[in-house]
Amino acid sequence: MDNLAPPKPGARPASSFVYDKAFVNGEWVAASSGKTFEVVNPANGKVIGSVPDMDATDTERAIKVAYKAFQSWKETTAKERSTLLRKWANLVNENIEELSKLLTSEMGKPLAEAKGEITYGGGFLELFAEECKRVEGDIIQTPVKSRRLLVLKQPIGVSGMITPWNFPNAMITRKAGAAIAAGCTVVLKPAEDTPYSALALCDLAKEAGIPAGVLNVVTSSRNNAGQVGKTICESPLVTKMSFTGSTAVGKLLLQQCASTVKKVSLELGGNAPFIVFESADVDAAVQGVMGAKFRCSGQTCVCANRIFVHESIYDEFVQKMAVVVEKDLKLGDGIDPGTTQGPLINKKAVEKIEAHVQDAVSKGAKVVCGGKSKGGNFFEPTILTEVTNEMRCSREEIFGPIAGIIRFKTEEEVVGLANATSSGLAGYFYSRDFSQIWRVAERLESGLVGVNEGVISTPDAPFGGWKESGLGSEGGRYGIEEYLEIKYVCMGGLQ
Ligand code: NAP
């Protein structure tokens, strides 16, 4: 935690959120094996600290704790849960500066983006503090005079969660906020690279008065992730599993959950098309693609992965985009003011991006700007032209700062290409043709569509993928439903 400016007077320093323990039953605990692993700043390779490397035994203990806590938490009123969630949200907002520094130091995204994520993350707690008071049942018209038919919605139980490194705060509040609001308890495994943002949320939850055992965070290294995940997925005490991460791991967890027929939510990888039609406002589309492509150095599941531009405006779009990339993007340590592009998460990510550029160039793509790694985990923001839908950067999720631009001729052709993928998370397009806007918004096979907007996520709206991008929805009023069971009660024998 070097390099950080001192906190504002009265605020907690970011270093006070750096723990060497995990959080189970309201206490800071070590792994039963005593093992730990190091957390490294991806911008400079320096070790921030170490946290417990927990395993299946520790996970089972956390599940038992969460199961016991569920017996009383489910009896609380929505109003009681709402008050605590609201306090938690307030504490997140009060500590935004220091939580952002912590997030940037472990994940690498620029400080301004980290603040954006903490605001977004706190927004889920605020939203679910409100939504839990609106969980309502039903009374159904009875076909039999002596009966009344009721529908109750009740908390599903202990909810297991596994989250990724690219949104170390918001992916936790989006899941845990909804679960806790619904009356469930949580056992959560954060990513190896970013445990501190998860532990900071536990600290603030405790300060807010959320009872022991309601939120439990089990930290583990990549080596132990498999056994922690399997324990959660196969435990009969866990009745819900929610995962955000890669499609490959999501499929594995879905299989593991089959043995206990858990309710499963999956938020998986994407391959978002970003289409610029001939009627588009080109300058607005360029601004839109900058956010959709380069936010978080291209490491978000909703990042534009394939940029399709109509042949009539292709050259103009490329030229304008190159000017903005050269002028506005600055690579560096996210903690430095002025940095817009932080490091990638690790060396493996840099190698993957290099391989994507090499593959594209070997098949005829041209490098307009960037194209090289800059040492450490840094990679230049890159524009490639003459990209085709067959290249690796079009077929796979890039997860890095490469903008591959594909030429198209007709709406029918481009919608076909956009949908020719097993992913279906986000899609974007720019057009000023009203009929086309409706046609394309309805025809894109994805759970989220941005029309003349490049960044569309908000706690208030549902977030979920179609096809292999996921199951279920998070956020908005839909998010809390994932943690509820429906019960039909038939009251009979009425005179
Ligand atoms: P990942 O490898 O699937 O990791 C995600 C989480 O799963 C981490 O906590 C990881 O732990 C854990 N994990 C890995 N292998 C596991 C196993 N065998 N069993 C149980 N848990 C396991 O994904 P990532 O590369 O870190 O994250 C990027 C991916 O997440 C991208 O595909 C991105 O699109 C997706 N994502 C999706 C959304 C969405 O809402 N749809 C949002 C953000 C990210 P370790 O860190 O310890 O390996």
Q: Cα 135–137–139 angle (5° rounding)?
A: 160
The amino acid sitting at 398 is I
The pLDDT of 126-135, averaged and rounded, is 97
Mutate to test the pocket of ligand 1, among 197, 271, 301 (most ligand atoms within 8 A of CB): 301
Q: Is the pLDDT of residue 3 over 60?
A: no
Look at residue 160 in the predicted model and tell me its pLDDT: 98
Look at residue 1 in the predicted model and tell me its pLDDT: 57
Look at residue 285 in the predicted model and tell me its pLDDT: 98
Q: Write the pLDDT tens digit of every residue in 157-181.
A: 999 999 999 999 999 999 999 999 9
Look at residue 68 in the predicted model and tell me its pLDDT: 98
Q: Write the pLDDT tens digit of every residue in 232-278.
A: 999 999 999 999 999 999 999 999 999 999 999 999 999 999 999 99
User: Domains in the chain, ordered, with CATH?
Assistant: 14-268+469-487 (3.40.605.10), 272-458 (3.40.309.10)
Which atom of ligand 1 lies closest to the CA of 222?
A: 47
The token pair that represents 187 in the structure block: 């056992």
Which atom of ligand 1 lies closest to the CA of 425?
A: 41
Q: Is the pLDDT of residue 5 over 60?
A: no
Q: Is the pLDDT of residue 9 over 80?
A: no
223: CA distance to ligand 1 center in Å? Answer: 14
Q: Is the pLDDT of residue 494 over 70?
A: yes
Strands, sheet with 366-369, edge to edge from the N-terminal-most edge strand? 366-369, 382-385, 402-408, 304-310, 272-276, 426-430, 448-451
Q: Is the pLDDT of residue 10 over 80?
A: no
How large a percentage of the chain has pLDDT more than 70?
98
Nearest CA to ligand 1 atom 40: 267
Q: Write the pLDDT tens digit of every residue in 288-330.
A: 999 999 999 999 999 999 999 999 999 999 999 999 999 999 9
Q: Is the pLDDT of residue 214 over 90?
A: yes
The pLDDT of 413-442, averaged and rounded, is 98
Query: What is the Cα–Cα distance from 457 to 449, expressed in whole angstroms?
Result: 10
Look at residue 378 in the predicted model and tell me its pLDDT: 97
Q: Write the pLDDT tens digit of every residue in 341-358.
A: 999 999 999 999 999 999
Of residues 5 and 469, more confidence is placed in 469
Mean pLDDT estimate for the chain:
96
First-to-last alpha carbon distance for the chain, in angstroms, is 71
Q: Is the pLDDT of residue 340 over 80?
A: yes
Q: Is the pLDDT of residue 92 over 70?
A: yes
Look at residue 7 in the predicted model and tell me its pLDDT: 62
Q: Phi then psi for 52, rounded to 5 degrees?
A: -60, 140
Look at residue 16 in the predicted model and tell me its pLDDT: 82
Of residues 2 and 376, more confidence is placed in 376
Q: What is the pTM of this model?
A: 0.96
Look at residue 12 in the predicted model and tell me its pLDDT: 79
Q: Phi then psi for 4, rounded to 5 degrees?
A: -100, 140
Query: What is the Cα–Cα distance from 192 to 180, expressed in whole angstroms?
Result: 24
Helices then strands (H, E): number in the chain? 15, 20
Query: What is the Cα–Cα distance from 485 to 464, expressed in whole angstroms?
Result: 19
Protein residues with CB under 6 Å of any ligand 1 atom: 162-167, 189, 191-193, 222, 225-226, 229, 244-246, 249, 252, 267-270, 301, 397, 425, 465, 470
- 159 forms beta bridges with 186, 240
Which residue, among 350, 329, 348, has the nearest Cα to 340 in the 3D structure?
329
- pLDDT category of residue 18 using cuts at 50, 70 and 90: confident
397: CA distance to ligand 1 center in Å? Answer: 13
Any idea which of 10-14, 199-203, 295-299, 412-416 has the lowest mean pLDDT?
10-14
**To which residue do tokens 């309601």 refer?**
214
The pLDDT of 184-213, averaged and rounded, is 98
Which residue, among 314, 325, 310, has the nearest Cα to 431 in the 3D structure?
310
Look at residue 8 in the predicted model and tell me its pLDDT: 63
Catalytic residues: 267, 301
Query: What is the Cα–Cα distance from 344 to 299, expressed in whole angstroms?
Result: 8
